[in-house]
Structure formats: C-alpha cells, structure tokens
Amino acid sequence: MNYRRIYQLLLVLTVFCCLSPVYADTARPSININLIIDGSAGFSDSKEEISTWIINRLDQLLVDGDRITIWSTGTSAKVIYTGKISGNTDRDAVKKSIRDISGSGANPDFSGALRDAASRPSSGLCYTLLISASPSALSSLLSGPQAGLMRYSRVEEFPKWRAIVVGLNLDEKVKKAAAGFYGS
C-alpha cells in the first residue's frame, strides 16, 4: 500500500512539474512604440476624444521595458516624448505629453515623423500608431515620397479622425517570409 501512495504522489508531482511551465505567466518581450499624433488645427476639434482613446489603448499595451517615442506633427514633426517605461511615473509622463499637445496649422508633417520613425534602430517588435484628424493630410502623405511606408497599414475610422497602425520596415520581412513559403 505504501508503494501505491508513493506512485500517486510521484504522478501528481510529475504532472505538476511538467505542466506548470505550460501554464506559467510568460512575459512578452519589450516592444518599441512609435506614436505619431496629428498636431494640426484639426486635432483641436477632437482632442479630448483622441487623447482618451490613445491613453486607454496605451494602458492596455504598455508594460515595463517597452520604449515609446511620441511625435506631434504640426507644420513640422517633432518628438515630444521618448523613453523606456519603468513604472507608473513613466506612464504618467507619457499621458501628460499626449494631453499637452495643442493643434495649430493646416498640414501636419506625417512624412517627416514616419521617415524619422522608420530610420530609428529597432530591436524586436515595433508598433507604430498614426493619429490623423486632418482629412487632407493623409492624401498628401499617400501621394508623397513616404507613401511606401504606409503599404502595410490598417485604418480604424472614427467620426472626425482616424487611427492607423503602420507596419514600418516590413518589406524585407515580407519578402523573406514569401521566399520561405515558396521555397526560393
């Protein structure tokens, strides 16, 4: 009878030890987040809605170790925040920089911000979110030299603005995956 209990105990320990790594809480690798926000006058009309949406999205996305760079795109693109998230103080600084954006001018410089974001070295995963509240700004971006940067993107429409997830620097990854798939 003692052997039976020992075997049961060993079975329970084996199952526990073998399956616990499968269900362990695995942390995701850190990511680089590029947030490009329309800083034109069109942004002012929907500032509260846009800011709330972005902050809620970042609350779901950001974890300690992530790097974030935020551009405000008025007549020229400028970085308003860059840093590594290491706690609530950093998250609060990100939120404050978003709330402090004020819109002015007619044409936001999305091209400059996208070019800058694409040229930054990135290790691992990169998430780029572009917020546009200016209807004419996207048409000039899509007809300009940086149009290729928008090739892999997804648009989410809102009544007065758009959120665009841009797949920066995916050309080589897509070509490599296609070559691997087709065996060439």
Instruction: Answer whether residue 89 shows pLDDT above 50.
Output: yes
CB 76 within 8 A of CB 142: no
Beta bridge partners of 31: 125
Report yes or no on 35 lying in a domain: yes
Instruction: Answer whether residue 19 shows pLDDT above 60.
Output: no
Mean pLDDT of 117-131: 84
pLDDT tens string 173-184: 555 666 676 776
Report yes or no on 109 lying in a domain: yes
Report yes or no on 136 lying in a domain: yes
Report yes or no on 169 lying in a domain: yes
Q: How far apart are CA 41 and CA 111, in angstroms?
A: 17
Report yes or no on 7 lying in a domain: no
Percentage of the chain with pLDDT > 70?
68
pLDDT at 155: 84
Write down the mean pLDDT value for the chain: 79
Report yes or no on 24 lying in a domain: no
Report yes or no on 20 lying in a domain: no
Comparing 121 with 46, the larger pLDDT belongs to: 46
Structural domain total, the chain: 1
Instruction: Answer whether residue 27 shows pLDDT above 80.
Output: no
pLDDT at 120: 85
Tell me, what CATH number does 108's domain have? 3.40.50
Residue 4 CB contacts under 8 Å (≥ 6 apart), including other chains: none
Comparing 8 with 69, the larger pLDDT belongs to: 69
Q: What angle, rounded to 10 degrees, do the helices at 47-61 and 88-99 form? A: 160
Chain centroid offset of residue 119 CA: 16
Instruction: Answer whether residue 51 shows pLDDT above 80.
Output: yes
Residue range(s) defining the domain that contains residue 170 = 31-175
pLDDT at 126: 85
Report yes or no on 181 lying in a domain: no
